[in-house]
Every structure is written in C-alpha cells, then in structure tokens.
C-alpha cells in the first residue's frame, strides 16, 4: 500500500527496527522487553495486566486508555512517582515498582487524578470501575 500519507521505512522517525533486548526490574523481578517498547508494553508482554489498585475501591489497574489520558497505569520508575507506563519508553536497567497512593502524604487524596478531571475519584467512580469487568485491568 502506498499513498501520500505513508512514510517510507528509511524516513520513519520512529525507526521501528529492533533495538535489542532490555531488562527491567519490576517489583524486584527481572522482566525482559525490546528497546522501544513502553513500560506498559513490556509489562503486558510479560503477562502483567495490572500493577496498581484504584484509590477508592482497591480494584486492580493497568492500561486503560493507552494514550496517557486516564492515569490508570501510573508506576514508580527509578524512584520517580506518577509515571504513566503507557507513555514512558522502557530503558535497560529501569527499576519499576508499584505505586500505592496510600504511601503518598495525604493518602489517596494526593492521587494526580483526584482533581476532578476525567478518571477522577473526586468526580465519581474511577474510569472503568463501572464496567465491573472480572479480573484485572
């Protein structure tokens, strides 16, 4: 397929070539991925579908929107909180830990999505909770 909107592979700024294997430490366990994957991509490929819990109900959370809008996929990366796993490219040697909003001063109210916007627990159920999906998301 060709067309005016298709980028030739040689000019693709994303450079989808295989950059090789990387290894992350996730909650103390080594998880491997490919260079260029997001942290969420590495976690999903490793079979992990949730890596935090909702502030109010404690239900499992992982990737919901996949575009950085919902904040459901927050993790701690190399000691930095509130990193959206769907937006951050994994790099070799990253140390990923679960983010527990209860650990933050002020408890769950300190969650970045508690400001009343989309997915806010202050505005109602966190995104996806109303679906009652079985299992983790």
Q: Give the pLDDT confidence score for residue 93 in this predicted structure.
A: 97
Residue 108 CA from chain centroid, whole number? 18
Give 48 or 18, the one with higher predicted confidence. 48
pTM of the model: 0.66
Q: Give the DSSP per-residue string, 45-79.
A: HTT----EE-TTT--EE--SSSSSSS-TTEEEETT
pLDDT, one tens digit per residue, over 47-98 is 999 999 888 888 899 999 999 999 999 999 999 999 999 999 999 999 999 9
């Amino acid at each position: 397929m060709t067309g005016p909107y298709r980028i030739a592979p040689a000019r693709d700024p994303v450079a989808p070539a295989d950059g090789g294997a990387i290894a992350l430490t996730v909650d103390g366990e080594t998880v491997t991925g490919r260079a260029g994957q997001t942290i969420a991509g590495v976690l999903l490929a490793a079979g992990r579908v949730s890596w935090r819990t909702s502030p109010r109900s404690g239900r499992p959370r992982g990737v919901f929107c996949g575009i950085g809008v919902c904040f459901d996929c927050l993790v701690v990366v190399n000691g930095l909180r509130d990193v959206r796993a769907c937006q951050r490219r994994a790099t070799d040697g990253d140390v990923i830990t679960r983010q527990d909003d209860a650990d933050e001063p002020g408890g769950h109210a300190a969650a970045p999505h508690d400001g009343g916007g989309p997915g806010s627990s202050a505005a109602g159920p966190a995104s996806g909770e109303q679906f009652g999906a079985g299992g983790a998301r």
